[in-house]
Structure 1
Amino acid sequence: MSVLAPYACDPARSRGRQHAEPGGEARGPRDIFQRDRDRIIHSISFRRLRHKTQVFVAPDGDHYRVRLTHSLEVAQIGRTIARVLGLNEDLTEALCLAHDIGHPPFGHAGEDALEEALAGQGGFDHNAHCLRTLALLENAYPRFPGLNLSWEMMEGLAKHNGPVLAPNWAMQQIDAAFPLELESWPSLEAQVAALADDIAYDNHDIDDGLRAGILTLEQLLEAPFVRRCWEQVTARYPDLPAEQLLRELIRDQIGIMVNDLIMTTRENLRLHGLEQADVSAVRGAGQAMVAFSDAMREDERQLKRFMYANLYHHPTQLAAAGRARVIVTDLFRAYQADPALMGTAWDASCGAAEPERSRHIADYIAGMTDRFAERAHQEIFGVS
C-alpha cells in the first residue's frame, strides 16, 4: 500500500458519512474511500453510463467511447497521478469513476434541453445532478436514500472544478443536508480528478474523431502541441506508415501532459509551503495546486479550441445534437402532460406543485440512456 503524503486525504481522518452505518465492518476489510469506490462501481447509475453519449450520439461502431469507458480511462490516469504524488488512490479513483454520473442522455445536447425545460424551475446542471443522484435518487440501502458517500467524496464531486460560489437549487439542497464548504478549494484528489478528465477527453476524443473520419491527421497537425508530438513519434519510427502511429501519438500526448501536471503540482506545493501541510491547508490555499505549466495550459487551450471547431461543432455532430435536443424536449413536454407515461413508480411520486413536479420529471429523463430515450420517444410519438 502506498504511503500517503501529509496533504493527502486519510481515510482514518475522514469526516464520515451523512447517515451512520453500524455493522459495516462485516462486509470486508475496506476503508471508507474504498467503500465509496465500490458503491459507485455497483450502482445502477454507473452501469447506465455504458449507453450514454461521450462524443458520438448512439455510435454505430463498437470501438467508440461512451461515458462508461471514458470514466474508466479518467480513473486510470487519475490513479497514476495520485500514486506519484502520494495522494489517496482510492478516493481519486472513486471521484474519477463518478464524475459523469449526472449527465443526461445525449451528453451536453441533452443537458442543454433539460436546462431550457427547467428554466423557470431552477435549471439543470449535470454536476449538481451527479450529487443529487448519488445522495437521493439511488436506492440501494434500506435505512437511507442514496449511496451515503463520504464527506470527502461528496465535497470532491461538488468542487472538483473549484469553489462553487453560485450553487444551483440541487447543489443547495445537498449542501443544506450535508454541508460541503462550497466556498473553499477541494482536496488534491478532487483536483487531480478534474484534470485527469481533461487529459482523457482531450486525447481520446481525437482517437474517436480520427476513427469516425471527421478528423484527419493533416487537420490535427494544425495544433502546435499535436505537431510537436507527431514529430517526436515519426522520428522514433521513421519507417512505419502514419496510420500505424496514430495511437502512439495519443499515448505520447497523454504521457507528456501527465508528466507536466505532476512536475507543476510538486512545484506549486513547494512554492506555497504545502509539502508537509495537511488537507485543510490545501482547501484554504485560495487557488488550485494541481495544474499544468503555463506552456502546457496554453497548448491544452489551443487543442480544445481545435477540437470544438473541428469535431464537437462539426456539421454531423451539430445535426445529431439538434435531434437529441428535440427528443429530450418532446419527452419532457409529454411527461408534463401525462406523468403516467413515465410508469407507475415515477407517476405515483410525481406531485402537482411546481417546481417539484418539473424537477421530478427531469430526474427521470436524466437517468435515461441514449437508447432508452430514443425508444421512449418512438413509443410516444411514433417516429424515429
Structure 2
Amino acid sequence: MSRATERFFPFEEDFRDPFSRDRDRVIHCGSFRRLEYKTQVFLNHEGDYFRTRLTHSLEVSQIARTLSRMLGLNETLSETIALSHDLGHTPFGHVGGDALDTLLRVDGRGNGFEHNFQSFRVLTTLEKRYKDFDGLNLTFATLEGVLKHSYPYDKPFLPDWVRERFELEKHPSLEAMVVDHADEIAYTSHDIDDGIKYGLIGFDDLMEEPLALRVDAMVREEGVMRGEELYRHRFVAALIKILVEDFIAHSQVRVAPYAREEPLCATLPASEPLPVGFGPEVGSELKRLKKRLFRRLYRHQRIVSKMYAGKECVRSLYRAFSEEEGLLPRAQRELFTRRHPRRVLADYIASMTDRYAMKTYHEIYGISIR
C-alpha cells in the first residue's frame, strides 16, 4: 500500500479502488447532502436557479476531472477532493464562518473557525458512520488535499497529530492543486452567470477587462451577439473553455517530470513553485477580472444586506445556545463530555443549512430572516 492510499483504521477491500471508495463515502454522508441548501453567493431561498454549495462542488468536480485526465493524473482522487472541499462551510457562505471565527475567539477558543480545517474535521471527526471510530476513514491523499488545497498549510491551531502525519510544510498532491484551480474556474464563471441572471452586474461592467473581451470575441465568432438571450450561456461556456485550455497548455510540460502511477503526497517543499497553473497572461487577466467581481458583485448592496442578515442569524443562534443549553438537541449536549462546549455549538451551527438556521432562529426569537 502506498502512502497515498493509507487510512487511519483497518478496512476490508472490495471491488472499488481506494479513491472510488472515498468518493462513495463522501457522496453518501449527511454533510454532502446538506450542501444542497447552503449558500454559495446568493441565499438559497432567493430562487431555484442560483448555485448552492452542492452545485458548485459538482461543477468543480467536473472541471477537476477534465484537467486531471488531460494531465495524466488520478481523475478519481481529484473528483473526491472536489466533492469534499466545501463540506465544512457554514450556512450563509463565508460570512457565517467569519461570524463563528470571531465568536470563538472572543469566547476564548483561540483557534477560531476556519472552513478548510472544518471540512477536514467533517471527514475525520464529525461524520459518524462506523461503530469503532469517528469520521469516514478516507485515504491520506484525500484528506491531505482537503486540508491543504494547493499550498503548505501550517496553522497554529492544528493539533499535534495533524502536524505529525501530514507534513504541513510541503505541498499536497498534484491532484489537490488541480482541484484548487478548478475551484477558481468554477466560481468565477458561475458567479458571473448568477450575477448577470440576478441583475447585479452587466456585461458592460465586464468588458473593461481583457479576459472578458477575449471571451466576447469567441462568442461573437459563434454568431451570438450581446443582448441575445443565449449570449450569457455562451459567455460562461467560452470563459471556462479559455481557462481550461490555458491551464492544460501551461501545466502539461511541468507536470510530466512528476508523472507516476500513484499520486505524489507531501512531496514538494514550500520552496518549490507549483507545477500546475495558468500562463502569465491569462493568470494576470483572471486576477483583474476577479477584483472587478469583488468590487461590483460580491460587495453589491443587495448581497451585503442578505449576508449581514445571515451573519446576524449565526451570531444569534450561538448566543442563544450559549445562554441556554436546553435549546440544543440531546445528541449535541452529550458531546460536551468529549469536546469543548463552544466547539460543539460551532460544529452544530456550521452543519446547518440556510433554511434550517433561519427556521431555528425563528423558533427561538419569533422573527424571520429576510
What range describes the TM-score normalised by the shorter chain of this pair? over 0.9
Three-state SS of the structure 1 residue aligned to 2:277 is coil
Q: Determine the structure 2 residue equivalent to 1:172.
A: 159
* CA-based RMSD: 2.1
Deviation, structure 1 residue 24: 3.8
User: What CA distance in whole angstroms lies between the structure 1 residues aligned with 2:131 and 2:342?
Assistant: 27
Q: Match for residue 172 of structure 2? A: 186
The answer to whether the 8 A contact 1:160-1:193 is kept is yes
Q: Do the aligned residues in 2 keep the contact of 1:339 with 1:350 (CA within 8 Å)?
A: no
2 CA distance for matches of 1:187 and 1:202?
23
* TM-score, L = length of structure 1: 0.90
Count the aligned residue pairs.
363
The structural deviation recorded for 1:297 is 1.1
Q: 1:181 Cα deviation (Å)?
A: 1.2
Structure 2 spans left out of the alignment, 5+ residues: none
Q: Which residue of 1 aligns with 2:285?
A: 299
Whole-Å separation in 2 of the counterparts to 1:60 and 1:280: 41
Change (3 A) 1:239 1:335: closer
The whole-number CA distance in structure 2 between the counterparts of 1:280 and 1:186 is 5
Q: Is 1:89 the counterpart of 2:79 in the alignment?
A: no
Task: State the match for 1:257 in structure 2.
Answer: 243
**For the residues of structure 2 that align with 1:76 and 1:237, how far apart are their CA atoms?**
27
CA deviations 1:36-81 (Å, max 9, x no partner) are 0101100100000000000101232211110000000000000001
From the superposition, tell whether residues 59 and 211 of structure 1 become closer, same or farther in structure 2 (CA, over 3 Å).
Answer: farther
Aligned to 1:19: 9
* Partners of 2:91 and 2:357 within 8 A in 1: yes
Q: Does the C-alpha gap of structure 1 residues 109 and 239 become closer, same or farther in structure 2, counting only changes over 3 Å?
A: closer
How is 1:174-253 mapped onto 2 (pairs within 5 angstroms)? 175=162, 179-237=165-223, 241-253=227-239
Superposed, 1:1-384 pairs within 5 Å as 14-21=4-11, 23-25=12-14, 29-119=15-105, 120-121=108-109, 122-165=111-154, 167-169=155-157, 171-172=158-159, 175=162, 179-237=165-223, 241-269=227-255, 273-274=257-258, 279=264, 283-284=268-269, 286-351=272-337, 356-384=340-368
Name stretches of at least 5 consecutive residues in structure 1 with no aligned partner: 1-10
Q: 1:334 to 1:91 in 2, by over 3 A?
A: same
Q: Quick one: structure 1 residues 187 and 356, their matched pair in 2 at CA, closer, same or farther if it must change by over 3 Å? A: same
Secondary structure of the corresponding residue to residue 243 of structure 1: coil
Deviations along 1:291-323, whole A, 9 cap, x unmatched? 111111111101110111111100001111111
> 1:114 & 1:174 partners in 2: Cα distance?
24
Check whether the contact 1:131–1:157 (CA below 8 A) recurs between aligned residues.
Answer: yes
Distance 1:57 1:174, change over 3 A: farther
**One-letter amino acid of the structure 1 residue matched with residue 352 of structure 2:** M
Using the alignment, how far apart are the partners of 2:200 and 2:226 within structure 1? 23
Cα distance in 1 between the residues matched to 2:289 and 2:22: 34
* Amino acid paired to 1:19: F
In the alignment, is the contact (CA less than 8 A) between 2:7 and 2:139 conserved in 1? yes
Letter of the 1:356 counterpart: H
Question: What's 1:5 paired with?
Answer: none
Secondary structure of the corresponding residue to residue 90 of structure 1: helix
Once the two structures are aligned, what percentage of the paired residues are identical? 39
